[in-house]
């Protein structure tokens, strides 16, 4: 005898976009595994790192007709129950009107103790399903350490520590790890 059918209660991106549209702009939600998750404010250290990264990436990206944006949601046809919002996204062409992009070139996640497992786990798996994504930077908050994930054609990972320079041929330049942590002490 068959048991009762389980209903899939995960939200898909289309329903999520309808659900989030009337919400106030001050709320920052992302869709993770079909569940809307409200993000709280980040500590100043986290925000300083994001500001440093966005500033340097935007300078590099502008020369290529791209821009660095904090707060764009990423979409992937391969995983229709995710719309994460990384800390910084580099996208080429015009900025999206609706806050979503399916064609990021580079994504940055600043790792917090409370989100480390998720950011290095399911989110990283999700980002790897986005065909246009060439580079994923996982930036540690409490030490000068950056994991550089690069599609070449399979994903590889290198770790950049203090004094290192991260080569970004996709943007025709490089990022100094020291620049990412400017105005911070450990």
So what's the pLDDT on residue 45? 96
Among residues 138, 158, 173, 172, the alpha carbon closest in space to that of 49 is found at: 138
Q: Is 52 within 8 Å of 32 (Cβ atoms)?
A: no
Domain 43-180: give its CATH code. Answer: 3.90.1570.10
CB 155 within 8 A of CB 137: no
Give the pTM: 0.93
Residues 115, 177: Cα–Cα separation, whole Å:
21
Q: How confident is the model at residue 94 (pLDDT cuts 50, 70, 90)?
A: very high
Q: What is the pLDDT of residues 156-172, one digit of tens each?
A: 999 999 999 999 999 99
User: Which tens digits make up the pLDDT trace of 105-162?
Assistant: 999 999 988 888 888 999 999 999 999 999 999 999 999 999 999 998 899 999 999 9
List the chain domain ranges: 43-180
């Amino acid at each position: 005898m068959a048991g009762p059918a389980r209903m899939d209660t995960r939200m898909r991106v289309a329903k999520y976009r309808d659900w989030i549209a009337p919400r106030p702009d001050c709320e920052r939600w992302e869709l993770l595994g079909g569940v809307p998750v409200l993000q709280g404010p980040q500590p100043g250290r986290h925000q300083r790192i994001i500001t440093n990264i966005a500033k340097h990436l935007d300078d590099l990206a502008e020369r290529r007709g791209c821009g660095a944006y904090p707060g764009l949601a990423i979409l992937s046809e391969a995983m229709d129950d995710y719309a994460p919002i990384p800390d910084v996204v580099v996208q080429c062409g015009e900025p999206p009107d609706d806050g979503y992009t399916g064609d990021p070139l580079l994504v940055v996640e600043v790792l917090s103790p409370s989100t480390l497992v998720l950011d290095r786990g399911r989110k990283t798996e999700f980002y790897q399903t986005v065909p246009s994504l060439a580079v994923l930077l996982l930036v540690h908050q409490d030490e000068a350490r950056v994991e550089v994930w690069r599609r070449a054609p399979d994903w590889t990972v290198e770790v950049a520590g203090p004094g290192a320079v991260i080569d970004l041929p996709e943007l025709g330049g490089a990022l100094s790890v020291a620049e990412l942590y400017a105005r911070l002490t450990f």
